[in-house]
């Protein structure tokens, strides 16, 4: 499945924010369920000296290998390599 054009734009925004030191990891909640989630945000510094946090990505609450099939790089089967450590 090809990535949507907006994903690449958001990724580039995330990369620029990280290079500038303008990233934040914030504790948020999903609107639909109230579940807590960790969200990677870009800090948009406004001229009035306020900071607006722009959400760009959510981190997995559970083992990502149990949730998504990662792209394969010459390996057979799904899941992480045997030496991959989970956090």
Contact 23, 17 (CB under 8 A): yes
H or E stretch at 57: strand 51-58
- Which residue in 53, 48, 61, 58 sits closest to 23, CA to CA? 53
The per-residue pLDDT for range 33-62, each reduced to its tens digit, is: 999 999 999 999 899 999 999 999 999 999
Domain ranges of the chain: 5-60
Model confidence, pTM: 0.71
- Which residue in 3, 4, 45 sits closest to 24, CA to CA? 45
As to burial, measured by CB atoms within 10 angstroms (0-12 exposed, 13-18 middle, 19+ buried), residue 81 is exposed
Q: For residue 5, what pLDDT is reported?
A: 86
Q: For residue 12, what pLDDT is reported?
A: 93
Q: What is the mean pLDDT of the chain?
A: 85
* pLDDT for residue 82 is more than 90: no
The per-residue pLDDT for range 8-34, each reduced to its tens digit, is: 999 999 999 999 999 999 999 999 999
């Amino acid at each position: 499945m090809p990535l949507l054009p907006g994903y690449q734009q958001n990724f580039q925004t995330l990369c620029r924010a990280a290079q500038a030191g303008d990233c934040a990891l914030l504790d948020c909640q999903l609107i639909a369920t109230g579940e807590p989630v960790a969200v990677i945000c870009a800090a948009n510094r406004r001229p009035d000296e306020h900071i607006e946090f722009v959400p760009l990505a959510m981190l997995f609450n559970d083992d990502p290998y149990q949730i998504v099939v990662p792209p394969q790089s010459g390996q057979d089967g799904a899941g992480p390599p045997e030496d991959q450590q989970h956090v």
